[in-house]
Every structure is written in C-alpha cells, then in structure tokens.
Amino acid sequence: MNNLKEQIQVNSESYAKEKLTSAEQGKLWATYTGNTMCICVLSYMLNHVEDLEIRKVLEDGLSLSKQFVQSIKEIFVHEDYPIPKGFSEEDVNVNAPRLFQDEFYLHYLKYVGKAGASLYAIGVPLVTRSDVRTFFTQCLDSTTKFLNEVNITLIKKGFMSKPTFIPYPKNVEFIKKQSYLNGFFGDIRPLQALEITHLFDNIENNATSKAVLIGFSQVAQTKEARDYFQRGKEIANKHYEIFSKMLQKENLSSPPIFDPLVTTSTIAPFSDKLMMFHKLDMFAMRIRAYGNALSMCARHDVAEKLGRLTLEVGNFVEDGANIMIEHGWLEQPPQAADRDALVYNNKTE
C-alpha cells in the first residue's frame, strides 16, 4: 500500500492541469464517505474481538479503509477540492458494549467487502485520469485479496456456507424450446447454475443485513431511525424467505440466518446518522445486486420476484433518504451546475 501512496503523489503532479471528471469526483466521494464509515465500524469491532485470527482480518480491513481515505484526501487537497465530512470519532463510541459476536464480524466483512468491490470495479473503466485510474485499480485488487482472506478465515473456522452442489452435465447441450423460460405455467425446468448463484448471494446478503438491522434497531436513539430499522429487518427477512424457498423447492440448500450472533445490548456504539447511512447505502447496493441477478436469470418466475422486490427496496431507500434529509444527516454528493439557478438568482432587475 505504500507504493500506491507514492504512485498517486507522482501522478497527481503529472496531471495537475487535468480536472477531475464527474465520474472521478463521484466515485472518489462515495469511496471516501463509505470508508470513513467503515473506519468507525471496524474500530469499534476491534475493541471487542477476542479471536486472534478474526482480529487480524479486522485489522487488515481497517488498514485498507484508512489507506483509501488518506489517498483520496491527498488527491482532493492537491485539487483544492472540499474534503467530504463523512464520518468521524463523533459518530462512534468504541467503548460501547459488544453488539455482535466474533463470528459475525467475518460475515459482516464479506458483506461490506462485496459492496466495495462492486463500487471499485465500476469505477475502473469510467475513470480516465492516470492517478485516479491507478487508485481504483489498486482498490479493486486490494479488496479482492481482502475478500479472499475473509473467505479463507470463514472456511478455516467452519463458518462458511458454500453454494449448493449440482451435478456436472454429461455433455454440451443447446436450448431447443422456449419453454426453457417458463416459470409460472407449463413445463418448468430446474434452476440453472447462474440463477442458483445469485439467489444464494442475495440470501446471504439479506441474512447479514437482517442481523445488522436487529442490532441497529436495539440501539437507535431516535424513534424514526428505530422504526426504519425495524421495517428494514422485516424486508430483509421476507426477501430471505422468498429466495430460500425457491432453492428449497428444488432441494437446494441456502445460507443460515445470523440473528443469534447479535447480543442483547441496547447501548449505541454508533450515531443514528451513521447507522441510517449504513443501511441506506447497503440497501442501495442491494438494488444493484438484484439487477445483476435479474440479468442472469431466464425463468419468468425468478425474474418477476426480483423485479418486484427491487421496487420494494427502492421505496425503502427513498424513505430512508427522506429521514436523513429531515435530520440534516445526508451529505450532498458532487453535482452538475444548476444553470437555471445561475441565470435567475443573479438577476439585478
């Protein structure tokens, strides 16, 4: 990671006359904000973790987030660009009682790691400035390696739930009938591998999300946040059950719930602002995950459920944004110039 820091500094000087594009501003802003949140969460977790191997993974995750934040800050300072507020020590109480068991920390790291990898992967082909392209390439590479570390530890500890096994095909075949797309009526084929994969992934995401929401609802300070987390928990549970039943109907296994890994603490380790942003951000990522799943499925019933549930998640995200706006918690991302406002707000007549 030291090489990354040096490379960004050199390239920033080389590209001093090239302004940051909208894609670069947006992705850097989102990466900075999200990783300041992760620094708060992981710092708290590290104050309670007992398992030494899990501690090492948490430390590596925290180190990555700190490096990402520092590198972006250097780019912004070089550009005389306002540093986002994000999240800081005022949003976390590392001395609050334990809210999650050690095992859950690994599931959580996989959960947020997947979201980060998705953010960086989309950034790489969109950014054009050399230093920013190098940064996001390194972010993606480092996060991929970190996710491998998380998975290896999950497997070693016996906590990993693997996607279900299916038989190897005996030979290569081509689809001959349009009934391959059926899902509601007629001859309905078994789920194919990519449909199973994305159903499994979204079940796992909802199981992790539900546990986070249980914890957050126990410690939230405002009624609006508490009610929002309760509603989110119900949505995550419903989606978990819908996807799980689709697998179980075909005698395929699904990931377990993680509810028992939440303690009974009611003392908040995080500000309501941080917790609201966390779930707003992760449910927004859920829309992308459902979209990815939808693009890979061919059965009509699977597509219908994904489309319907995506709308439900979208409404939940919008309601969360409204709550954050009302409390003055939602930091505004970079945006295009409002040309009409420039015209009419500067009239002197």
Token digits of residue 100 = 């999650």
Using alpha carbons, list the distances in angstroms from residue 30 to 20, 78, 115, 127, 261: 14, 18, 12, 14, 29
Give the pLDDT score at 13.
56
Q: Which residues contact 162 (CB under 8 A, 6 or more apart)?
A: none
pLDDT band at 34 (very low <50, low <70, confident <90, very high): very high
Token digits of residue 326 = 């009302």
Rounded Cα–Cα distance for residues 268 and 246 (Å): 36
Is residue 84 within 8 Å of residue 28, measured between CB atoms?
no
Give the pLDDT score at 164.
87
Give the pLDDT score at 180.
78
- pTM beyond 0.85, yes or no: yes
Q: What is the mean pLDDT of residues 191-208?
A: 95
pLDDT for 145-171, tens place per residue?
Answer: 999 999 999 999 999 999 889 999 999
Token digits of residue 87 = 């999240």
Q: Which percentage of the chain shows pLDDT scores above 70?
A: 93
Which domains are delineated in the chain?
Answer: 2-157 (1.20.1260.10), 178-326 (1.20.1260.10)
**Exposed/middle/buried for residue 178 (C-beta within 10 Å: 0-12, 13-18, 19+):** exposed
Is residue 108 within 8 Å of residue 159, measured between CB atoms?
no
Average pLDDT, the chain: 92
Between 312 and 1, whose confidence is greater?
Answer: 312
CB atoms within 10 A of CB 235: 21
Is residue 201 within 8 Å of residue 289, measured between CB atoms?
yes
Give the pLDDT score at 10.
46
Rounded Cα–Cα distance for residues 225 and 279 (Å): 10
pLDDT for 45-74, tens place per residue?
Answer: 999 999 999 999 999 999 999 999 999 999
Give the pLDDT score at 16.
52
Amino acid at 46: L
Give the pLDDT score at 6.
54
pLDDT for 96-111, tens place per residue?
Answer: 999 999 999 999 999 9
Give the pLDDT score at 330.
93
